């Protein structure tokens, strides 16, 4: 008998002894008086063992038969050996093998396919409620991982998740660079609009580690990164997290993606970065929208539309101040870029301008509110004579290589005997 059954038996003995009424016994056992009368009759008929449930020790009528259990475990061993019980039950349901995740968890533990996780020590963190509306706060971070396992190179997953609804936007990139983060932000802006705030860590892409330039000091602006400058032009507030626990929602997101997304791409046979991004956009993100997003407390969308003056191709770019040379060219990362002849305007030579490299690879010059397209200037042809004076082998020379002889005047040449302001002695010239 269980502890509860022994306690009920004691109360029933008191009722039979006349020490308690059935109403008082019902209150103590938290049962109805009708159920107390039933238990009392069962004890009178079968003795103290009448309180034991009649199905104890017998198999449940809803138990799954052993043949189905063996089939499901065989399928898990063959295709989902490293899957968790929750993810494995979802994939088994697609094959019409319906089993709850808790039942599958018990079977996998018994078969040695799953090891129960240890309970983590409780760490105290200040709980923060989700934002009220979609678009009030968006978290952004990147994760370097073997997303394609052994089928492809190690990639960076740059992700953005809404705090109120857990709505997700992400893309794979080869490197965690400024350009790739700007492309990810552009995808969110074109899809939903401008959020009120962006929550990131203090990586070098978001926090500048240089003093303000002279032009920034004259304008009264602090030093900003390219992403910080773009967020300022879009009127999006930037919030920096002081610890990984502060942005726990996106940290837990990567734990989920490293468990689910890797296995889903393995089953789909994804091997390249282009195929991975296509799988994200067409398959996984719609599944995430249906499975993991929640309803915000306020139904209003807090995103703002892009204004006509907010051209994303211009704002989400990399800009650097430059000076225009006398031949209307500027230098950028060891290369020279020139303004076309029909685009040259007054005051451009020697002016201080902004050079802009856009995400599509084009280069532009910003001068007095105008955008001038730039073309790449090819490098000058190398000289035929090396700095040491030696000619490279195999190079034919069409010019005369023998030096011209030097003329040395004779001793009696008038040049040697000419005296300034005096007549030469003619006898010495004979």
- Tens digits of residue pLDDT in 328-341: 899 988 889 999 88
H or E element that contains 402 = none
Average pLDDT of the chain to the nearest whole number: 85
Q: How many domains does the chain have?
A: 4
Asked, for residue 354, whether it belongs to a domain, the answer is: yes
pLDDT of residue 148: 94
pLDDT in tens, 358-377: 999 999 999 988 899 999 88
Whether residue 261 is found in the same domain as residue 145: yes
Asked, for residue 301, whether it belongs to a domain, the answer is: no
Asked, for residue 17, whether it belongs to a domain, the answer is: yes
Put residue 300 in one of left, alpha, beta given phi > 0 → left and psi -120 to 50 → alpha.
beta
Whether residue 337 is found in the same domain as residue 283: no
DSSP H helical ranges for 285-395: 285-291, 312-315
The structure tokens listed for 199 are: 């929550």
Place of tokens 């007095």: 368
Q: How far is CA 376 from the centre of its chain?
A: 32
Strand order in 138-145's β-sheet? 168-173, 155-162, 138-145, 197-200, 237-240
pLDDT in tens, 102-133: 999 999 999 889 888 776 665 656 778 899 99
Whether residue 201 is found in the same domain as residue 264: yes
Whether residue 356 is found in the same domain as residue 266: no
Whether residue 105 is found in the same domain as residue 45: no
The Cβ-side half-sphere exposure at 338, using a 13 Å CA radius, reads 10
Asked, for residue 117, whether it belongs to a domain, the answer is: no
**CATH number, residue 286:** 3.30.420.10
Whether residue 71 is found in the same domain as residue 46: no
List C-alpha distances in Å: 50 to 7, 12, 40. 14, 12, 9
Residues 6+ apart with CB under 8 A from 294: 165, 166
How far is it, in rounded angstroms, from Cα 58 to Cα 61? 9
Asked, for residue 143, whether it belongs to a domain, the answer is: yes
pLDDT of residue 398: 43
Considering only CA atoms, give the Rg of the chain. 41
Query: What pLDDT band is residue 396 in, cutting at 50, 70 and 90?
Result: very low
Asked, for residue 215, whether it belongs to a domain, the answer is: yes
Asked, for residue 96, whether it belongs to a domain, the answer is: yes
Exposure string for 138-147, b = 16+ CB within 10 A, e = fewer? bbbbbbebeb
Place of tokens 């101040």: 321
Whether residue 156 is found in the same domain as residue 229: yes
Asked, for residue 430, whether it belongs to a domain, the answer is: no
Q: Considering 377, 395, 425, which residue would you say is the last residue of a domain? A: 377
Say whether pLDDT at 79 is over 80: yes
How far is it, in rounded angstroms, from Cα 39 to Cα 43? 6
Whether residue 323 is found in the same domain as residue 255: no
pLDDT in tens, 159-187: 999 999 999 999 999 999 999 999 999 99
Q: Which residue has the higher pLDDT, 50 or 422?
A: 50
Whether residue 98 is found in the same domain as residue 206: no
Least confidently predicted of 216-225, 338-347, 349-358? 216-225
Q: What percent of the chain has pLDDT over 90?
A: 49
Give rounded-to-5 percent helix, strand, coil for the chain. 40, 15, 45
Whether residue 160 is found in the same domain as residue 262: yes
Whether residue 97 is found in the same domain as residue 146: no
Identify the domain containing residue 107 by its residue range: 66-111
How far is it, in rounded angstroms, from Cα 409 to Cα 418? 13
pLDDT of residue 59: 75
Q: What is the mean pLDDT of residues 81-105?
A: 91
Whether residue 287 is found in the same domain as residue 213: yes
How far is it, in rounded angstroms, from Cα 236 to Cα 227? 11
Query: What pLDDT band is residue 419 in, cutting at 50, 70 and 90?
Result: low
How far is it, in rounded angstroms, from Cα 424 to Cα 10? 154
**CA distance from start to end of the chain:** 151
**Is residue 184 classed as helix, strand or coil in its secondary structure?**
helix
């Amino acid at each position: 008998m269980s502890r509860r059954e022994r306690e009920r038996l004691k109360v029933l003995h008191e009722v039979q002894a006349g020490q308690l009424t059935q109403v008082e016994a019902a209150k103590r056992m938290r049962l109805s008086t009708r159920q107390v009368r039933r238990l009392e009759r069962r004890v009178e008929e079968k003795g103290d063992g009448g309180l034991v449930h009649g199905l104890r020790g017998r198999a449940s009528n809803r138990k799954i038969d052993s043949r189905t259990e063996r089939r499901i475990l065989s399928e898990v061993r063959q295709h989902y050996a490293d899957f968790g019980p929750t993810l494995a039950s979802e994939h088994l349901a697609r094959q019409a093998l319906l089993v709850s995740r808790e039942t599958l968890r018990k079977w996998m533990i018994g078969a040695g396919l799953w090891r129960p996780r240890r309970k983590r020590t409780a760490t105290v963190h200040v709980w923060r409620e989700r934002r009220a509306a979609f678009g009030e706060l968006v978290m952004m971070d990147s994760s370097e991982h073997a997303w394609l396992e052994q089928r492809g190179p190690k990639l960076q997953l740059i992700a953005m998740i809404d705090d109120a609804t857990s709505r997700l936007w992400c893309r794979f990139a080869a490197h965690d660079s400024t350009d790739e983060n700007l492309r990810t932000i552009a995808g969110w802006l074109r899809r939903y609009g401008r959020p009120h705030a962006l929550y990131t860590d203090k990586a070098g892409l978001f926090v500048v580690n240089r003093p303000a330039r002279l032009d920034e000091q004259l304008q009264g602006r602090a030093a900003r990164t390219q992403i910080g400058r773009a967020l300022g032009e879009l009127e999006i507030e930037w919030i920096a997290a002081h610890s990984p626990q502060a942005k726990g929602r996106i940290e837990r997101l990567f734990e989920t993606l490293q468990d689910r997304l890797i296995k889903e791409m393995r089953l789909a046979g994804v091997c390249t970065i282009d195929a991975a991004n296509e799988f994200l956009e067409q398959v996984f993100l719609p599944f995430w929208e249906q499975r993991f997003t929640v309803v915000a407390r306020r139904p209003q969308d807090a995103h703002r539309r892009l204004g006509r003056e907010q051209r994303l191709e211009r704002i989400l770019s990399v800009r650097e101040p430059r000076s225009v040379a006398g031949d209307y060219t500027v230098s950028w990362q060891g290369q020279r870029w020139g303004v076309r002849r029909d685009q040259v305007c007054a005051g451009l030579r020697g002016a201080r301008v902004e050079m802009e490299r856009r995400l599509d690879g084009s280069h532009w010059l910003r001068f007095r509110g105008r955008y001038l397209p730039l073309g790449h200037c090819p490098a000058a042809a190398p000289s035929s004579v090396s700095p040491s004076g030696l000619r490279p082998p195999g190079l034919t020379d069409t010019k005369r290589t023998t030096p011209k002889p030097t003329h040395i005047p004779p001793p009696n040449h008038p040049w040697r005997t000419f005296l300034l302001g005096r007549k030469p002695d003619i006898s010495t010239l004979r």
